[in-house]
Every structure is written in structure tokens, then in C-alpha cells.
Structure 1
Amino acid sequence: MTATTIQARAPGKIILMGEHALLHGCPAIATSLGLYCDVQVRPRNDQYIELQLPGLDHHRCYTLATLLDYPSREAQLRIPGFTLTGKIDADYLVKCAIGVILRKLTPNQWRGFSVRVESTIPIHCGFGSSGALAVSLAAALLRFFDLQPRQHPLESVAMSIERYQHGQPSGIDHNTSLLGSTVERRPMADGNFKLIAWPKSAAWLQLRDVQLYDTGAARETTGQVITATRQRLEGPDNALLKRMRHTAERFRALLQRPVLMPSTLKHLLKEYEAALESLGVVPRNIAKLIRVIEKAGGAAKICGAGALSGDQAGALLVIGAPALPELSRYRRIEAPLAVDGLQIREDAHDQRLSPEKLCAYPVD
């Protein structure tokens, strides 16, 4: 067990294409985003756990027993489909994550510590805030308690934390934060999936002029959106799912082309956006905005679960559009794509962990 301060940083992400369909055996491609969740864990001289979340103006101390039992109690707040009900604590996911780690310890390993979490990733907007938190906080705590990757692979621990946020996550969010660059989640014949970590330079040519906007947090959680729309993509000959799979496969091939093809990129973005609108996850006002972008010669699609109601749908990817007054009302995300994944810092020494040691899934 280390007596030093541990710092971990993980980036956000956006799903470029494949959202929703990836839960039905289709490929999906995501890329890391240069917005970060930073976690610091340092020892205390007592048996309390201190949580500092300055972005939420939240600072509290808890007993070990309280957080050890917290994940079990919070699981009772979920209905089938893992949709959160009732009022959720501001530090809900942080406490769940700590509880997950404490359960891996023997009582003689328990000790007090302080956790500080600072994030520049918009929450509930499809930018991977919970995945980045799961990866960075789990990494810091596993290192703090000297839990070995062989017995406690970080990817698996982060996945278990993500379940408290999304219920049945696809895994692409936290794996993209963990691995960095561009990550493909590809189905395999046995029903499982593998992760393909693309070289950092891959996909950059086609996406070099992409703009990202934050249209605001959706009214519904990702779990609520998925639960409400899942049946629309089920069935052996589901026409909408076939469209989404076909477009995603063509998009994958395009990203690997060495020649810039903006017209093809726009066409594929329009195709997948139309499918998402048919699925019912693009609010009317956002769809109207996208029509304005298309009329001006560009293309756009939401990135992530989207929303069932309201005027906000999280991340919006735009390409080939001029400066439009309709876009000026939204915050533009000025952050690079395909950045490095998780970084851990201990005693002023940077340490990068290899994907093979951290992931429970095959990585190519």
C-alpha cells in the first residue's frame, strides 16, 4: 500500500459512428477527446474518506463502512433497464467507485484517504464523462492500494463502475478513455466483441475539419434513452439496424482511406443522422438545426445516446458548414481528437500502462 499521492488523468471521448447499433452487434468507432477528468488520491491519518469535487461545490467526509455498503444500497434505486430513479447524490458515481474498490480489500488494508476530482468534460452530453471518471478514479485507487493488474484488471473494474451509471454499458466509452486515440468495437462470431486500437494517425485525415458542439445535457439518462428505444432495433431482419450497420461499415472504410473525401464523409454523416432521427433520439430543435447545416452545404450528427425530449441532445459533430448564427448559441468544444489515453503519476514519475495489462478484451 503506497503512502504517496497518486494522480490519474483520463480523456473524454465521442462516438464517431455506431451509437445505439453497437448494442445489437454492429461495429462502432470512437475517438478520445482532449477534455480530461483528473483524480488525485492521497493518504489521510485517520479512517475517513474525504471527497472533494470542486466543480460541483461538494466537499464531504464519509466512514469506510458507509462507502463499503454504498453500491449495494444504490443498486436498489434502479428499475429494470438500470434507469436511475429518485434523487441521485451529486457524488453518486464517485462513492460507487470507491465502494467497488473497498470490496476488493481485506479489512487490514483499509485506511483513510482523500479523493479530489476535477473534470473539464461536460456531463450527460455524450462526451464520456462517466467513463473517464471510472478509468481515472479506479486507476488511482488500484495503484494507491497496490492492487495488482493481473488480479484486478483496470478495464474490468472500470466496466463494473460504469454499470452504476449506465446499467448495461457497451464498454466503448471507458475503453476509449483508457486506450486513447481511435478505438473500434467490433463484434465477433461468438457474440462477444474485440477492441481494435487504431494508430494515432488513422482517421485524422478525414476528420481534420470536424467541429464539435455541446448542445446541452439531455433530459434523460443514457440508460433511459436506450431502454426506450432498444426494441426498435431488435429482430432478425430489422431494416433500420441494417441501414445503421451498412453506414458504419462504410464510414470505417472511409476513415482508412489515404485521400481526403469530404463529400463521402458528409453523405455518411447524413445517412447515420437520418437513422438516429428515425430511432427517435434527436429532438425536434436539434433536427431543425441539422437541416440548416445541411442546407448550408455541411453535415452533422449527434454523437452518443441523444435524447427523447427537450431541446438538447449532447454532443453534435459538424463538418463543412460555414459560421452559422444558429450554431453560435452552442458552446464549441475546442479540444483535439485522438489524444493519449490514461496517464498515472506517482512521485513525479509518469507511468503509462500497456493496454494488454489493463483490458479483459482482446486488443488488436
Structure 2
Amino acid sequence: MLSEVLLVSAPGKVILHGEHAVVHGKVALAVALNLRTFLRLQPHSDGKVSLNLPNIGIKQDWDVARLQLLDTSFLEQGDIAAPTPEQMEKLKEVAGVPENCAVTERLAVLAFLYLYLAICRKRRALPSLDIVVWSELPTGAGLGSSAAYSVCLSAALLTACEEIQNPLKDGARVSRWPKEDLELINKWAFQGEKVIHGNPSGVDNAISTWGGALRYQQGKISSLKRLPALQILLTNTKVPRSTKALVAGVKNRLIKFPEIVAPLLTSIDAIALECERMLGEMALAPALEQYVVLEELIDMNQHHLNALGVGHAALDRLCQVTMAHGLHSKLTGAGGGGCGITLLRPDLEQEEVEATKQALTGCGFDCWETSLGGPGVSMHSAASLNGPVQQALGCF
């Protein structure tokens, strides 16, 4: 068992193109978002394992000796497997989450407990740990916050239990694991996602593990080899929505108007493929006219998504505000509210960007200036983390 403090981070994600069409067998492009979730794991000897999630107000601990006495044979399935409904009921009993706890909080605790017991059970004694997880990502906004959480937990627990090596060498500020270790992290994170979401696609944990950009189609995930540096505004309209209801609405519209909706889905697929081709070209030799093409693709996709019925007045307002500043935006994720992305061309003056951000926050939205295509799950030295992250994780 490792004795040092571990500091891990993993990115969120945005869907660049392909929302909803991906449900019907078309291509979706997912890109790592340079807003990250951070985890601090500290071994100690007080006989407890504790979990602190300051973003959602969770602070809970369990007696390791009591957990050690549990029958964890339900986790012993040889290969990494998803928990069954019966196993989930056992986890709920062990977790002791208060009944008045919201669903998000309860599932976060269950995912942690599952990963802790499943990964650490091979050891003679369960480790006594203090774990803090803090995120720059808003929860429930379609930005892959739960996947980043599961990836951070999986990477930290696997490293602490010496299932994989700590990649951080002396003097390094940030390091990443080799391919085979990343594959193991991704497999475990997918199980954490199953605890939280039931039947996830695997895209969110994959992009959080590997970083960069991924193409997803009918269950097949492949990495985009080249990606240019793209700057964006990410805007959260803070309008809640139900992904399940929005997906069902598109399906109903497809059944009702097949000759209208099917071509829209085909066109969204073509937009995703053209964007993929353009990103490949830009990675080799970026030019301003290529950004203009990306903006046109963004506009066309947003109109298609509105035609599918997944728009919202708040998203329309977002597009209007950014268009007034000469910028182009689209929703990302399920739509019906949630988040939108705005492409920032490299020739933009910072004053114009700031004016746009101010106009969006004036609408009551949250807005971040960030980038796409960053690195996946990483191990950090304390010196590599900025002050706010260090403070949130209690690194002082």
C-alpha cells in the first residue's frame, strides 16, 4: 500500500457534434473539456475511510474494521463486472446514506463505495484513507462530471493499492499512466458510471480517461489522432432538463415525421464527419478560413437541433447574444436548456471576448472561457495545482 498523498485530475467533456443523432446510429464527436475534477487521496491510520465532496455537501466516513467484516463475495466475479440490482441494494445498506439525501449525492456515495470495495478487496486489509474530490464542473449539466469523478476515483484507488504504478517521477509536475494502465482505469470508471447511470454509453469515461477527442458510433469508440487547439466559451443556462424526455421526444418526432426527421439526422451525421475532416486538416496547418467553416457547421447543427425539438428559449438567447458579437454557438448535450458552446476564433480581441462573457452573465448564465482537447486523467504534484484547487483539496 502506497503511503504518499496522491493528487489526480480528470477532464469533463462536451459533444461537439452529433447530439441525438448518435442515438439513431450516427456519429458523435466528444472532446475533452479543460475544466477538471480534482482528487486528493491521503492514507492515514485512524481506522476509517472518509469521503468529502464539497461541491455537493457530502462528508461521510465508514469504519474500516466494519467494512472488513462484510461479505464482499458479491464483488468477486473474476473480470470487472457491473453491480447487479441485488448488489446495489447491499451497497445501499452499507453506505448508510440519509434518506433525505438527494439522488445525485446518494449515487456519488454508492459509486465511491463500490469502487473502494471492489478495487481494494484483494488486499489483506482494506486501507484507511481520506479522500477529497472537488470539481470545476457543474453537476447535472451534461459535461461528464460523474465520469470525471469515477475516473479520478479509479485512478487513485488503483494506484494506492499498487494495481498500477504511480506515474509521477521525481521532479515532475504532471504525469500520465501508460496505455495498459489507462485501459484498466477506464474499465473501472465505466463500472462507476454504471452505478450512477445504469446503462451509460462509455463515451464520458473514455474521454475523461484518454483526453483529446473521440468519435462514437453504435458502441464503437475511436480516438481522433490529431486535434487543433480550440478555445471556446462554455455557457451554462442553468435551465434543468431531462435527457430521457428529450431523447424520447426526438424518437416520437422521427416516428411521426420520418421523411422529415430522418434526413435531419443524416445531415447532422454529415456535419460531424465534415467537422472531423476539418479538425484533421487544422491540426496540420490551421488557417482562419477553417474556423469560418467550423462556425458554419455550428450554425447548421444548431438549426437542426431546434428542428428536432431539443432547443430552448434560453439557448436561443445564448445564440442571439453571441451572434451580436460576431460569434457562433450551439447547444451541447441533450439540449432543452443545459449548456452551449461558442467557438472563439484566434483573431478575436480579448476585449470582445470579455464583452461577450459579460453579456452572457447578464442573462443570468454561468460562463467560462476554456479550451477543448486537453489531456485525460493525470497525476499531479502539489506544486502543479493552482491556489484555489489546493485550497479546495486541503493541500496546505
User: TM-score w.r.t. structure 2 length?
Assistant: 0.70
Compute the displacement of 1:239 (Å): 2.3
Residue 146 of structure 2, aligned match among 103, 119, 130: 130
Separation in 2, partners of 1:229, 1:74: 37
Please point out which of 271, 275, 278 is paired with 1:251. Answer: 275
**Does the Cα contact within 8 Å between 1:166 and 1:223 map onto a contact in 2?**
no
1: distance between equivalents of 2:313 and 2:383? 50
Among candidates 179, 185, 208, match of residue 154 of structure 1: 185
* Contact kept? 1:185, 1:195, Cα under 8 Å: yes
Show the 5 A alignment for 1:147-226. Answer: 147-148=163-164, 153-181=184-212, 183-187=213-217, 192-199=219-226, 202-204=227-229, 207-208=230-231, 210-216=232-238, 218-223=239-244, 225-226=246-247
Correspondence for 1:305:
334
Q: Could you give the per-residue CA deviations for residues 95-115 of structure 1, whole angstroms, max 9, x where no partner exists?
A: 313313412424734233211
Per-residue CA deviations over 1:218-239 (Å, capped at 9, x if unaligned) read: 4235455445545556889922
Kindly provide the amino acid, as one letter, of the partner of residue 174 in structure 1: N
The alignment yields a C-alpha RMSD, in angstroms, of 3.6
Say yes or no: does 1:120 pair with 2:136. yes
- Could you tell me how far 1:140 is from its partner in structure 2? 0.3
1:90 aligns with 105
CA deviation profile, 1:42-77 (whole Å, cap 9, x unmatched): 22324432111223343221245499799603999x
Instruction: Give the aligned partner of residue 371 of structure 2.
Output: 336
Distance in structure 1 (CA, Å) of the matches to 2:194 and 2:247: 14
SS in structure 1 at match of 2:311: coil
**Residues 1:242 and 2:266 are matched in the alignment:** yes
Residue 4 of structure 2 aligns to a residue in which SS? coil
CA distance in 1, matches of 2:225, 2:193: 23
Tell me: CA distance 1:175–1:253, structure 2 relative to 1, closer, same or farther (3 Å).
same
CA contact (8 A) 1:269 1:299 kept: yes
User: Aligned residue for 1:2?
Assistant: 2
C-alpha distance in 2 between matches for 1:101 and 1:243: 44
For the residue of structure 2 that corresponds to 1:23, the secondary structure is: helix
Which of 103, 111, 126 is 2:127 aligned to?
Answer: 111
1:256-267 equivalences under 5 Å are: 256-257=280-281, 258=285, 259-261=287-289, 262-267=291-296
1:282–1:313 Cα contact (<8 Å) kept: no
Matched-pair contact (CA < 8 Å) for 2:318–2:329: no
**What is the Cα deviation at residue 284 of structure 1?**
2.0
Separation in 1 of the partners of 2:125 and 2:253?
A: 48
AA of the residue aligned to 1:17? H
Secondary structure of the corresponding residue to residue 148 of structure 2: helix
Report the alpha carbon displacement of residue 178 of structure 1 after superposing the two structures with TM.
1.5
Shift of 1:336: 3.0
Whether the 8 Å contact between 1:212 and 1:332 is mirrored in structure 2 is yes
Counterpart amino acid of residue 275 in structure 1: H
Query: Quick one: structure 1 residues 175 and 231, their matched pair in 2 at CA, closer, same or farther if it must change by over 3 Å?
Result: farther
Q: 1:291 to 1:89 in 2, by over 3 A?
A: closer
The answer on whether the counterparts of 2:52 and 2:60 sit within 8 Å (CA) in structure 1 is: yes
| Match among 115, 118, 131 for residue 100 of structure 1 | 115
Aligned length: 327
**CA positional deviation for 1:138:** 0.9
**Against the structure 1 CA distance between its residues 152 and 250, is the aligned structure 2 distance closer, same or farther, given a 3 Å change threshold?**
closer
* 2:360 pairs with 1:327: yes
Q: Which runs of 5+ in 1 are unaligned?
A: 77-85, 350-364
Identical aligned residues as a percent: 24
- Matching residue of 1:25: 25
**Aligned pair in 2 of structure 1 residues 230, 155: CA closer, same or farther (>3 Å)?**
farther
Larger Rg: 2
CA contact (8 A) 2:150 2:205 kept: yes
TM-score, normalised with respect to structure 1 = 0.76
Task: Compute the displacement of 1:172 (Å).
Answer: 2.4
Deviation of the 1:272 alpha carbon:
0.9
CA distance in 2, matches of 1:175, 1:28: 14
Give, in angstroms, the shift of residue 33 of structure 1: 2.3
Distance 1:137 1:198 in 2: 27
Q: Which residue of 1 aligns with 2:173?
A: none
SS in 2 for 1:340: coil
Partner of 2:79: none
Higher helix share: 2
Distance 1:254 1:42, change over 3 A: same
Using the TM superposition, give the Cα deviation of residue 169 of structure 1 relative to its aligned residue in structure 2, in angstroms. Answer: 2.5
- Aligned pair in 2 of structure 1 residues 269, 346: CA closer, same or farther (>3 Å)? closer
Letter in 2 for 1:248: A
